[in-house]
């Protein structure tokens, strides 16, 4: 058996990956927990599908605005300090969600949470791009993006169990407590990430923002991001409501569904990252897209379905989604130049959030539910998602050619010589 090492990371780099993965976990969980809580929230707060869509899109819109406002400054500060500042604001916003007594307060709380939480992923991706070579970045993204799967395996089931027993506020309290502990770890153990500050620039923040927004190669990346955001934000918010109203699952079965799906996503996430490094990011993206299109076409047309079939379909669907997300994220990190990474990631995250907000808002207008009747028009969302995915394949092809034609990627700006930990 060949056990040749495929990639090596120092102990500190392993710590960085773990910190960024845990940070992503709490931010993703804060957003994703709304979907399985959807049915309960709409009932207890007496809100309709359109209002619930507003709650979801409020986070996305505020996150998008925050990304644009901060993008010009993203390359002018130590990335560790930026991460701590915005993560602290995210914790505060989530606490407001935890104490929200009604729809209006919850809507405002989601806006506050989005203003801070929406910027965190862009900072994390900039740190990854600064510290890790392109050759292993798919693997790094695989571990960091595994936060989605972990949120399903641990966060969402636990959150649902807490919500079923203690009310829908309790999952947000859980996130606040966990995020506070992670914030302490970031403060104590993450080293400054400031090598980009050595690259001199005479542009102020506003000029830096405009220059990044007007660079043709970057604009292609932003256009691809708009399409990438459409799929998940349209289907995800009403996933639990569709499972209960259309597929016939019960509220108590949802934790089982998310737990098992998440277990398989945890397994296949790192494998997808490793495979994307081996066969190419774009090739992996195409494979994941085709698989996702097939599963979306089936899933959105289901009626009453046994639990085991729903679980099986969800597992395959999320394997396809995670393959697309990991490979696309890794490929997108190679687009910006070193001096523009923070700004590019900030704008890209902003565009992703704004596009997702529009998608969630539109989904709330398309999907209709009257009292206890099944959700209507969910199949239409499926058609829209499939079309956007097909177009995205073409856009990502252009991005891939653009990256391949670039000069060889710069080595990490701050390599750290420590004891090496081998990962298979």
Domains, the chain, ordered by start: 8-191+203-407 (1.20.1250.20)
For residues 279 and 5, which has the higher predicted lDDT (pLDDT)? Answer: 279
pLDDT recorded at residue 279: 86
Cα 185 to Cα 182: distance, rounded to the nearest angstrom:
5
Cα 68 to Cα 49: distance, rounded to the nearest angstrom:
29
Q: Let me know: does 172 contact 106? Beta carbons within 8 Å.
A: no
- Exposed / middle / buried, residue 125 (Cβ in 10 Å: 0-12, 13-18, 19+): buried
Structure tokens at 125: 């991706």
- Supply φ then ψ for residue 179, to 5 degrees: -65, -35
| 218-242 pLDDT per residue, tens | 888 888 888 887 766 677 777 777 8
For residues 408 and 63, which has the higher predicted lDDT (pLDDT)? Answer: 63
Structure tokens at 415: 């390599």
Going by the DSSP 8-state scheme, the letter that residue 368 receives in this structure is B
| 159-180 pLDDT per residue, tens | 777 777 787 888 899 899 999 9
Whether the pLDDT of residue 393 is over 70: the answer is yes
Q: Let me know: does 118 contact 90? Beta carbons within 8 Å.
A: no
**What would you report as the CA-atom Rg of the chain, rounded to the nearest whole angstrom?**
20
pLDDT recorded at residue 412: 45
What percent of the chain has a predicted confidence (pLDDT) above 90? 13
Cα 148 to Cα 308: distance, rounded to the nearest angstrom:
22
The C-alpha angle with vertex 406 and arms to 405 and 409, in degrees rounded to 5, equals 135
**Among 271, 21, 263, residue whose Cα is nearest residue 156:** 263
As a whole number, mean pLDDT of residues 244-253 equals 83
Task: Calculate helix-pair angle for 49-71, 205-214, nearest 10 degrees.
Answer: 110
Cα 326 to Cα 318: distance, rounded to the nearest angstrom:
12
Whether the pLDDT of residue 354 is over 90: the answer is no
| 66-119 pLDDT per residue, tens | 877 777 676 677 888 889 999 999 999 999 998 888 888 989 999 999 889 878
| Burial readout 165-183 (b: 16 or more C-beta within 10 A, e: otherwise) | eeebbbbbbbbbebbeebb
Q: Let me know: does 94 contact 30? Beta carbons within 8 Å.
A: yes
Cα 358 to Cα 69: distance, rounded to the nearest angstrom:
19
pLDDT recorded at residue 96: 93
Chain mean pLDDT for the chain: 80
pLDDT recorded at residue 91: 95
pLDDT recorded at residue 185: 93
Cα 265 to Cα 263: distance, rounded to the nearest angstrom:
5
pLDDT recorded at residue 100: 85
Whether the pLDDT of residue 320 is over 80: the answer is yes
Cα 391 to Cα 385: distance, rounded to the nearest angstrom:
10
As a whole number, mean pLDDT of residues 314-321 equals 86
Whether the pLDDT of residue 5 is over 60: the answer is no
| 167-217 pLDDT per residue, tens | 788 889 989 999 999 999 999 998 888 776 666 666 666 777 787 878 888
């Amino acid at each position: 058996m060949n056990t040749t090492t495929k990639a090596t990371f120092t102990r500190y780099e392993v710590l960085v990956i773990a910190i960024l993965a845990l940070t992503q976990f709490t931010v993703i969980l804060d957003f994703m927990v709304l979907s399985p809580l959807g049915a309960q929230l709409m009932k207890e707060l007496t809100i309709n599908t359109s209002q619930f869509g507003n709650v979801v899109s409020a986070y996305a819109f505020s996150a998008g605005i925050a990304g644009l406002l901060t993008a010009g400054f993203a390359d002018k500060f130590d990335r560790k300090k930026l991460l701590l500042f915005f993560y602290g604001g995210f914790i505060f916003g989530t606490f407001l969600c935890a104490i929200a007594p009604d729809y209006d307060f919850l809507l405002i709380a989601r806006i506050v949470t989005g203003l801070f939480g929406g910027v965190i992923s862009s900072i994390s991706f900039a740190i990854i791009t600064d510290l890790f070579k392109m050759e292993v970045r798919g693997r790094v993204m695989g571990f960091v993006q595994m936060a989605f799967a972990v949120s399903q395996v641990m966060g969402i089931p636990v959150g649902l169990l807490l919500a079923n027993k203690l009310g829908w506020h309790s999952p947000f309290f859980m996130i606040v407590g966990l995020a506070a502990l992670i914030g302490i770890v970031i403060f104590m153990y993450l080293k400054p990430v400031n090598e980009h500050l050595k690259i001199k620039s005479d542009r102020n923040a506003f000029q830096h923002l405009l220059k990044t927004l007007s660079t043709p190669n970057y604009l292609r990346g932003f256009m691809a991001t708009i399409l990438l955001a459409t799929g998940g934000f349209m289907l995800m918010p009403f996933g639990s409501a569709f499972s209960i109203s259309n597929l016939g699952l019960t509220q108590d079965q949802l934790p089982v569904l998310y737990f098992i799906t998440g277990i398989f996503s945890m397994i296949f996430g790192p494998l997808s990252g490793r495979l994307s490094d081996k066969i190419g990011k774009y090739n992996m993206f195409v494979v994941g897209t085709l698989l996702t299109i097939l599963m979306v076409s089936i899933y959105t047309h289901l009626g009453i379905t046994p639990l085991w079939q729903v679980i099986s379909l969800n597992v395959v669907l999320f394997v396809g989604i995670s393959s697309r997300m990991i490979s696309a994220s890794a490929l997108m990190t190679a687009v910006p130049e070193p001096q523009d990474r923070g700004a590019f990631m900030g704008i890209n995250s902003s565009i992703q959030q704004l596009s997702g907000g529009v998608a969630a808002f539109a989904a709330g207008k398309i999907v209709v539910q009257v009292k206890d009747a099944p959700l209507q028009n969910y199949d239409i969302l499926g058609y829209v998602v499939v079309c956007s995915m097909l177009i995205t394949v073409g856009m990502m092809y252009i991005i891939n050619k653009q990256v391949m034609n670039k000069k060889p990627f710069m080595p990490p700006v701050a390599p750290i010589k420590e004891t090496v930990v081998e990962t298979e």
